[in-house]
Chain A
Amino acid sequence: DVKVTQSSRYLVKRTGEKVFLECVQDMDHENMFWYRQDPGLGLRLIYFSYDVKMKEKGDIPEGYSVSREKKERFSLILESASTNQTSMYLCASSWTLNLNTQYFGPGTRLTVL
């Protein structure tokens, strides 16, 4: 079974803090994704990566950056957290040539005070 893990289930940070969300997958997937999930808005893509050190902006990249130094790990960085970044963050991974099917982590619920 594919396993995607995220470093924290719940996180509380202060406005202005730098926040790191970590995601690790164990299936040698090339592609990794970061989404935020908000009620009534569904899942929106923040960034994705199709290879080590490669990244592409998604639909809502403002206020976020990412890092992928190793194939199995994809980090989401909030350089200066703001209250409007309070949300559920979901990581996913996929293997190219697997019919675009993504596998999700359990999510991190981030609260910025």
Chain B
Amino acid sequence: AQTVTQSQPEMSVQEAETVTLSCTYDTSENNYYLFWYKQPPSRQMILVIRQEAYKQQNATENRFSVNFQKAAKSFSLKISDSQLGDTAMYFCAFSAFGNEKLTFGTGTRLTIIP
């Protein structure tokens, strides 16, 4: 069984700063996907970024990028130039190739301070 660990329950950072959210996972699978989802207060969960494990290059989406370390089973999310709209719960998730189910971490509540 896979497990996903987010060791930072809460974080806060000043607007315009850079913040990194941590995620580690445990699996015996070789092919899998990793995700960061964002859940703003009272709003819908949306996909932030996705990484395919077979790709060595780290995924990026505008201000969001990941540091994927497959050997270390680490998958951190970096948010650059943070904005007030980045305030949200962030969930790291794992999915094995060929299995549609996601395993989620417990989440990190990120607050951007004006």
Chain A interface (Cβ within 8 Å of chain B)?
31, 33, 35, 40-45, 48, 50, 58, 90, 92, 94, 96, 99-107
CB-contact partner of B101 in A45, A90, A99, under 8 A:
A45
Report if A42-B100 is in contact (Cβ < 8 Å); known contacts: A90-B45, A99-B52, A106-B43. no
Whether B100 and A104, one on each chain, are in contact in the complex, defined by CB atoms closer than 8 angstroms, is: no
Q: Which A residue sits closest to B45, measured CB to CB?
A: A104
CB-contact partner of A96 in B47, B52, B100, under 8 A:
B100
Chain A residues, Cβ within 8 Å of B33 = 99-101
Q: From residue B64, how far is it (CB to closest CB) to chain A in Å?
A: 15
Bound complex: CA A65 to CA B98 (Å): 25
Chain A residues, Cβ within 8 Å of B43 = 106
Whether A104 and B104, one on each chain, are in contact in the complex, defined by CB atoms closer than 8 angstroms, is: no
Tally inter-chain residue pairs, CB-CB below 8 A.
54
**Can you name 17 extra interface pairs (CB under 8 A) apart from A100-B102, A102-B100, A102-B102?**
A42-B4, A42-B104, A42-B105, A45-B101, A45-B102, A58-B101, A92-B45, A99-B50, A100-B33, A100-B97, A101-B35, A101-B47, A104-B45, A104-B46, A105-B44, A106-B43, A107-B44
Bound complex: CA A31 to CA B45 (Å): 17
Tell me the interface secondary structure of chain B in the complex. Answer: loop
Q: From residue A103, how far is it (CB to closest CB) to chain B in Å?
A: 8
Chain B residues, Cβ within 8 Å of A42 = 4, 6, 91, 104-107
Whether B106 and A104, one on each chain, are in contact in the complex, defined by CB atoms closer than 8 angstroms, is: no
Report if A104-B91 is in contact (Cβ < 8 Å); known contacts: A42-B106, A45-B101, A48-B100. no
Report if A94-B100 is in contact (Cβ < 8 Å); known contacts: A41-B106, A42-B105, A99-B52. yes
Q: From residue A30, how far is it (CB to closest CB) to chain B in Å?
A: 9
Whether B44 and A100, one on each chain, are in contact in the complex, defined by CB atoms closer than 8 angstroms, is: no
Q: From residue A98, how far is it (CB to closest CB) to chain B in Å?
A: 10
